[in-house]
Amino acid sequence: MALFGRRVGRSLGPAPLEGRSLLLADLDGVVYRGRAAIPGAVEQLNRAAETVRLGYLTNNASRTDETVAAQLRELGLAARAQDVVTSPQAAVALLSRTVPAGSLVLVVGGDGLVDELGKAGFRVTRSAADDPAAVVQGFAPHVGWEHLAEAAFALAERPGRDPLPWIATNTDWTLPLERGLAPGNGTLVSAVHTAVQRLPEFAGKPETPIYEAAFERFGTRDALMLGDRLDTDIRGARAAGIPSALVLTGVDRPKQLVAASADMRPDFIVASIAELHEPYPETVTEKDGTARVGASRVRMRGPVVEVVDPGADRLDLLRAGCAAIWTSGLAIYGLQVPEELYADHWADDPTR
């Protein structure tokens, strides 16, 4: 820069993990994808565990907490079953407040649900003909049409009977695997919803029961949620009243970030878990309303999003763009957003 050119320092705040007591981490898209660990994730989570309590929140209802912990140990994490909070655990807690212990429950799902129901003293059936007291639904790879049909039969309206309680573990529409995105539990719940014309009560992210279960187990609400999905991890953290960080190694990408509604906006945007340990760049609002992060500057001109200066750091540009759009109060569908602002420079990153 010339002597009288604009010189902008990078204003840094505390690291996202600084001063926290608990880190709650999602699994799919954060720790691993399918069976493979995301490069660098295990190392950085072990580093985090040196200073904060580390817990794992998963909406995947197909496996038990011990099975999940065993996989994490295979990847190199010092995980125990009690470190894993699952959506089946949250679902069974809801069920316990809905029907008496020992009740017969129709299950759509796998071992994760069956195991937790058994621990809580419930009996399990797979047939609506057994006249169950409730239906609990969660994801498992083997779930097929016949299982969804049994749920629909059990939930069908009957004259003189109150609607049968229906609890679903989670609403995830997709499941990230090595080969790509596969249908998740939300898709399967939607099939039953179409047949019975009502919705279940949900236990997992973004609903608060799974967060409350984590706070109770780990003895603190001083937590940071780390996730890769805005509609579950981040929305759930906001609903539970805790800060959140979105890591760009999973499902949601820059295009989803700039368009995020107020209830799905993370406090931190990071490319990898390593950045949780680093001072986080602050967003500075200039006199004319321009949002600046480092040297990246973005402002609103009515419905036009203008990149004043892209700067040298692509992530700072994304952060500045999100800040400008989010504080504008304008709906994303009415804005003109330059492609450079939401270009996915991390799509081909080896951490994905």
Q: What does the buried/exposed string (b/e) look like for 38-53 if buried means 16 or more CB atoms within 10 Å of the residue's CB?
A: beebbebbeebeeebb
* 113 closest CA partner among 139, 74, 77: 139
pLDDT at 8: 54
- 67 vs 78: CA distance, rounded Å: 14
pLDDT at 1: 32
Residue 334 carries which DSSP code? G
Mark whether 26 is an active-site residue.
yes
- 321 vs 182: CA distance, rounded Å: 30
pLDDT at 102: 95
pLDDT at 60: 83
pLDDT at 350: 47
DSSP for 195-258 reads HHSS--EE-STTSSHHHHHHHHHHT---EEEEES-IIIIIHHHHHHT--EEEETTSS--HHHHH
Q: Is 108 within 8 Å of 81 (Cβ atoms)?
A: no
**Which one of the listed residues 28, 65, 115, 172 is annotated catalytic?**
28
Pick out the chain residues at pLDDT < 70: 1-9, 348-352
Domains and CATH numbers, the chain: 12-59+206-276 (3.40.50.1000), 88-202 (3.40.50.1000), 283-342 (no CATH)
**Which one of the listed residues 26, 172, 231, 252 is annotated catalytic?**
26
Fill in the amino acid letter for 155. Answer: L
Span 273-316, pLDDT tens digits: 999 999 999 999 999 999 999 999 999 999 999 999 999 999 99
Global model pTM greater than 0.85: yes
